[in-house]
Amino acid sequence: MSNQQVQLNIRFKAKPGKKEEFRKELYSLIEEMSSEKAFISAIVSDDLDQPDDLIIYETWQGTRDSWLAEEFIKPYRKNYEKTLEDFIVDRSVSWLQPKAEWGSHITRQ
Protein backbone atom coordinates (compact mmCIF):
# COMPACT_ATOMS: atom_id res chain seq x y z
CA MET A 1 0.00 0.00 0.00
CA SER A 2 1.35 3.44 -0.86
CA ASN A 3 2.02 6.23 1.60
CA GLN A 4 -0.19 8.52 -0.45
CA GLN A 5 -3.43 9.77 1.05
CA VAL A 6 -6.59 11.31 -0.33
CA GLN A 7 -9.21 13.30 1.51
CA LEU A 8 -12.86 13.82 0.68
CA ASN A 9 -14.67 16.89 1.92
CA ILE A 10 -18.37 16.26 1.28
CA ARG A 11 -21.14 18.77 2.00
CA PHE A 12 -24.71 17.50 2.18
CA LYS A 13 -27.77 19.73 2.22
CA ALA A 14 -30.52 17.80 3.97
CA LYS A 15 -34.17 18.02 3.01
CA PRO A 16 -36.21 20.03 5.52
CA GLY A 17 -36.85 17.92 8.62
CA LYS A 18 -34.60 15.07 7.41
CA LYS A 19 -31.20 16.05 8.83
CA GLU A 20 -31.27 13.80 11.90
CA GLU A 21 -32.55 10.80 9.93
CA PHE A 22 -29.80 11.40 7.41
CA ARG A 23 -27.22 11.73 10.19
CA LYS A 24 -28.16 8.21 11.41
CA GLU A 25 -27.68 6.81 7.89
CA LEU A 26 -24.36 8.62 7.53
CA TYR A 27 -23.12 7.35 10.91
CA SER A 28 -24.06 3.79 9.91
CA LEU A 29 -22.06 4.19 6.72
CA ILE A 30 -19.07 5.51 8.66
CA GLU A 31 -19.24 2.58 11.09
CA GLU A 32 -19.01 0.19 8.15
CA MET A 33 -16.37 2.03 6.18
CA SER A 34 -14.19 2.56 9.25
CA SER A 35 -13.27 -1.14 9.18
CA GLU A 36 -11.82 -0.84 5.66
CA LYS A 37 -8.06 -1.33 5.40
CA ALA A 38 -7.52 2.00 3.58
CA PHE A 39 -9.66 4.04 6.02
CA ILE A 40 -7.78 6.51 8.22
CA SER A 41 -10.37 8.84 9.73
CA ALA A 42 -13.67 10.68 9.35
CA ILE A 43 -15.08 13.77 11.02
CA VAL A 44 -18.72 14.85 10.68
CA SER A 45 -19.55 18.49 11.37
CA ASP A 46 -22.63 20.68 11.39
CA ASP A 47 -22.39 24.02 9.59
CA LEU A 48 -23.30 26.66 12.16
CA ASP A 49 -24.43 29.08 9.42
CA GLN A 50 -26.33 26.53 7.29
CA PRO A 51 -28.46 24.49 9.73
CA ASP A 52 -29.53 21.91 7.12
CA ASP A 53 -25.93 21.12 6.13
CA LEU A 54 -23.72 18.25 7.30
CA ILE A 55 -20.09 18.01 6.26
CA ILE A 56 -17.94 14.91 6.38
CA TYR A 57 -14.19 15.04 6.09
CA GLU A 58 -12.67 11.63 5.30
CA THR A 59 -9.03 10.61 5.02
CA TRP A 60 -8.06 7.47 3.12
CA GLN A 61 -4.85 5.70 2.23
CA GLY A 62 -4.34 5.79 -1.54
CA THR A 63 -5.40 8.04 -4.39
CA ARG A 64 -8.69 9.30 -5.80
CA ASP A 65 -8.48 6.62 -8.49
CA SER A 66 -7.82 3.83 -5.98
CA TRP A 67 -10.68 5.09 -3.76
CA LEU A 68 -13.10 5.11 -6.69
CA ALA A 69 -11.96 1.66 -7.85
CA GLU A 70 -11.86 0.00 -4.42
CA GLU A 71 -14.14 1.84 -1.99
CA PHE A 72 -16.97 3.36 -3.99
CA ILE A 73 -17.97 -0.05 -5.34
CA LYS A 74 -18.52 -1.66 -1.91
CA PRO A 75 -22.03 -3.15 -1.55
CA TYR A 76 -22.80 -1.24 1.66
CA ARG A 77 -21.89 2.03 -0.06
CA LYS A 78 -24.14 1.26 -3.01
CA ASN A 79 -27.06 0.68 -0.63
CA TYR A 80 -26.31 3.97 1.12
CA GLU A 81 -26.19 5.85 -2.22
CA LYS A 82 -29.69 4.58 -3.02
CA THR A 83 -31.08 6.10 0.19
CA LEU A 84 -29.63 9.58 -0.37
CA GLU A 85 -32.55 10.85 -2.46
CA ASP A 86 -34.81 10.35 0.58
CA PHE A 87 -32.66 12.63 2.75
CA ILE A 88 -30.71 15.22 0.77
CA VAL A 89 -31.31 17.86 -1.88
CA ASP A 90 -27.67 18.46 -2.77
CA ARG A 91 -24.17 17.07 -2.29
CA SER A 92 -20.83 18.54 -3.28
CA VAL A 93 -17.53 16.66 -3.12
CA SER A 94 -14.03 18.11 -2.99
CA TRP A 95 -11.07 15.79 -3.48
CA LEU A 96 -8.01 16.87 -1.53
CA GLN A 97 -4.42 15.69 -1.21
CA PRO A 98 -2.86 16.43 2.19
CA LYS A 99 0.54 18.12 2.22
CA ALA A 100 1.14 18.89 5.90
CA GLU A 101 -0.45 18.12 9.27
CA TRP A 102 -0.36 19.41 12.80
CA GLY A 103 -1.86 16.82 15.15
CA SER A 104 -4.90 17.18 17.33
CA HIS A 105 -7.83 15.23 18.67
CA ILE A 106 -10.46 17.83 17.85
CA THR A 107 -13.50 15.72 18.64
CA ARG A 108 -12.14 14.22 21.86
CA GLN A 109 -12.51 16.03 25.18
Domain ranges for the chain, please list them: 5-96
Q: Which residues of the chain have pLDDT under 50?
A: 1, 109
User: Residue 5: its pLDDT value, please?
Assistant: 92
User: Residue 109: its pLDDT value, please?
Assistant: 44
User: Residue 100: its pLDDT value, please?
Assistant: 80
User: Residue 31: its pLDDT value, please?
Assistant: 96
The answer to whether 57 touches 43, Cβ cutoff 8 Å, is: yes
How many Å apart are CA 101 and CA 21, to the nearest integer? 33
Beta strands in the chain (DSSP E): 5-14, 39-46, 53-61, 88-96
How many Å apart are CA 10 and CA 104, to the nearest integer? 21
User: Residue 101: its pLDDT value, please?
Assistant: 76
With respect to CATH, is domain 5-96 assigned 3.30.70.100? yes
Phi, psi of 48 (to 5 degrees): -65, -25
How many Å apart are CA 59 and CA 98, to the nearest integer? 9
